[in-house]
Structure 1
Amino acid sequence: MDLQLDNVSAGYAGTTVLQDLSLRLAPGRIGCLLGPSGCGKTTALRAIAGFEPISAGRILADAIALSEPGKRLPPERRRMGMVFQDLALMPHLTVTGNIGFGLHRLRRHERDTRIAELLTLVGLNAKAHAYPHELSGGQQQRVALARALAPRPQLVLLDEPFSALDVDMREHLSQEVRRILLHEGTTALLVTHSQLEAFAMADVVGVMRQGHLHQWDSAYNLYHRPVDRFVADFIGEGRLLPGQRNADGSVSTELGTLAATQETVAETAVDVLLRPDDVVHDDASVVTATVMARAFRGAEFLYTLRLDSGREVLSLVPSHHDHAIGSRIGIRLELQHLIAFRREA
């Protein structure tokens, strides 16, 4: 399914929750709406599913309007499957019964064949006759996905599907779900507040805040080419360092002059985004900084470093460079992408 939202707005009781939301998700791609609680991402998902009306714009599937102001195609006619946050498995049905629940229109042989295909795909053949309470959280999640995929929907919607799982299980299962969706060739849209889930599953991610979509892009571009301060701050880690834009587009900072790698803002006074991997530990450097904090991450330390000006930057350093808090270390900048924003007061 080719999903398209054109300037969609929606809300409840006179309060606008979504404002001018536009995006396109190509067939067979996995997208994600990412943002903090209350940003409107679940409302967007429910509007796409047909559970909520929209007050402006259009929602289209394969160029056919599904929702417009005053007009809404019923959810059961949208060729969509949905995995809810609470999974909504039926406790009185086995795994087989839950997966086959939406296949009552098929002949018995066709139904059994489809259930068998999905049991194999999600790795639950051994649990075919188990009930939901006999399954782990991850197994329940896979049953919910298989049930959503069973009728061969054109689009699968996933509403915070891993929120009840621990961090390790989330990462593993999100990669498994991606594999399953790609195997089925199904277009999918996920909503979550977890960057880990978004980046593990999605081909394209939309960062939302207060009902607005700030950027709809690849995870790489969100991290390395954020369009504004909110995306820069929300995605990954980093610090902003004051600088002065020069006539050739380069920017002078207290850590040196940075060559232009993009069209920087027009203002002279700017703030440069520095990611931890932009600040390289170098014992030979004449520029030094004081270690203010450190977080051990196995292969690396994440150091918080204070410059002579009192400003701070972050640096990822191989963990065999074990520096104590208060020590001075040499650093240099190694930027592949110069991202600068207009200086704020």
Structure 2
Amino acid sequence: MRHTVKAASIMSVAALALTACGSSDSGGDATSGEGSDVKACLAYDVGGRGDQSFNDSAAKGLDQAKEELGVEIEEVEASQGENDAAREDRLNQLVDADCTNIIGVGYIYAKAIGGAAKDNPDVSFAIIDDASADSEGENVAQLVFAEHEGSFLVGAAAALKSKSGKVGFIGGTDVPLINKFEAGFKAGAQAVDPKIDVQTKYLAEDGSGFADPAKGKTAAEGMYDKGADVIYHAAGGSGSGLFEAAKANKKMAIGVDSDQAKTAEKDVQDVIITSMVKNVDVAVFDYIKASTEGEPLTGLQEFDLKDGGVSYATTGGKIDDITKELDDYKQQIVDGKITVPSK
């Protein structure tokens, strides 16, 4: 079964997410809850809890489920350079730990989820950021987002705030998912200024590109040296290097996944003018909540701009002067007047 999440469901869960304040133990230790037979287990991408971005957004949803739904939780983390077999072994360890719901955080788990789900039909699985045949299964929910739509808005913000007419994009690795961020960012910037110069850099050919702040900093410094004054990243933990470079060069940066003007180190938060917020926490919570209600999600679950699955952050007031323009672009996307490219 393949279907799309309805707006009312997403917005109600998003409202709950805004009030969440729970926390959980990390490092793979199980934490007991009360009031539910569901044991929700998260297998993080490289960087794990504490990356201030993608993984932390997923962790927020898990924490909320523990506090509000009374579920038991457990967490494990991917290692650099591991293969699909190692990832599938990790998922099967969670099955052995009596997890009823297992979530793979990131497309790197696609084949592992597909294999583990087939071998364990009584367990509910979910994967974030993958809609391929590799992860399909009758007991699998594919949780995906319209990253290109959110990236369009921060691309427009970059162009509106740029004084040099030059902006940059840093991606963790050159794969279709991250290409969506780049495509949307470029389209948004060019909607504001068709002649704008958009510099692009991908950090690695594997998952290490999402956990290497030094590479992120070097890439950003190169772009700032070439005249860029606003840079957007879709590089997970490597984005902290961008923020350091922006601080040192007195330039602007744009965060991703989480509202990074809140989650980044305090000494660099002031250089982050906005973030493309991908509400992974909403997807994780929604998936777990459905199981506690006896209606586990399966198939494709898409979180887009219209449903509140992606958005842009205004923390710090750095873009208060351009929110009218951004909201106008947002409405045009929602109304179908602007079709944002994903490639």
Q: TM over 0.5: same fold?
A: no
> Which structure shows the higher helix fraction?
2
> Which structure shows the higher strand fraction?
1
TM-score range, shorter chain: under 0.3
TM-score by structure 2 length?
Answer: 0.22
Higher RCO, Cα 8 Å, sep 6+ = 2
Is the radius of gyration larger for structure 1 or structure 2?
Answer: 1
